Amino acid sequence: MSAIDFSDPATIAVLTDALIAAGVDGLEISKAGAHLRIVVSKGGGARVSLTGNAPPDLAAAPAAIVKAPMAGRFCALRPSAPAEAGQLPRAVSDKEVIGFLRIGSVLLPIPAGRSGLLTRRLTEPDALVGFGDPLFEIEPQQ
């Protein structure tokens, strides 16, 4: 649950630091009554946006979407992990780490957050993602 105060300069500063570290050019966040757009440089390329809630069609679907907790480069696997570790679909537990965001030399583990069947990756490996971008789809298991 996000409780960001978009008017807080410190929050804006850390978001900006995160963008610079991740090589992201800009960030745009829209929420009810709040809208934040940070442009780090004039260069083209990255498009980062935030949607506070899942779109209605996804919200209605049985599958859950795991979203990026911040900006970074998406890694489906730890860089040193064997490739077979990332094969889908596979059952996952709620605390299981199913991917990473790479920011410089640091990796932010992404937990599944729920038990179920990890069916799809929604982002290509090494793609630049922004806060809230969908990364994985997990179907609840009976």
| Among the listed residues 141, 2, 10, 20, the one whose alpha carbon sits nearest the alpha carbon of residue 68 | 2
Site size with another protein, rule: CB under 8 A = 30
Q: Which one of residues 41, 106, 119, 125 is an interface residue with another protein (CB under 8 A)?
A: 106
Token output for 135: 């990364």
- Pick the binder of another protein from 57, 79, 87, 142 (CB under 8 A): 79
3-class SS letters over the chain: CCCCCCCCHHHHHHHHHHHHHHCCCEEEEEECCEEEEEECCCCCCCCCEEECCCCHHHHHCCCEEEECCCCEEEECCCCCCCHHHHCCCEEECCCCEEEEEEECCEEEEEECCCCEEEEEECCCCCCEECCCCEEEEEECCC
21-50 positions binding another protein, by CB under 8 A: 21
Single residue of 31, 78, 114, 120 touching another protein by CB under 8 A: 78
Using the rule CB under 8 A, is 86 a contact of another protein? Answer: no
Complex with another protein: residue 44 or 53, whichever CB lies closer: 53
Is 89 one of the binding residues for another protein (CB under 8 A)? no
Nearer to another protein, 61 or 95 (CB): 95
Q: In this chain, which of 31, 102, 114, 120 binds another protein, going by CB under 8 A? A: 102
Find the binder of another protein among 38, 108, 117, 127 (CB under 8 A). Answer: 108
Give yes or no for residue 124 binding another protein (CB under 8 A). Answer: no
* The residue count for the chain: 142
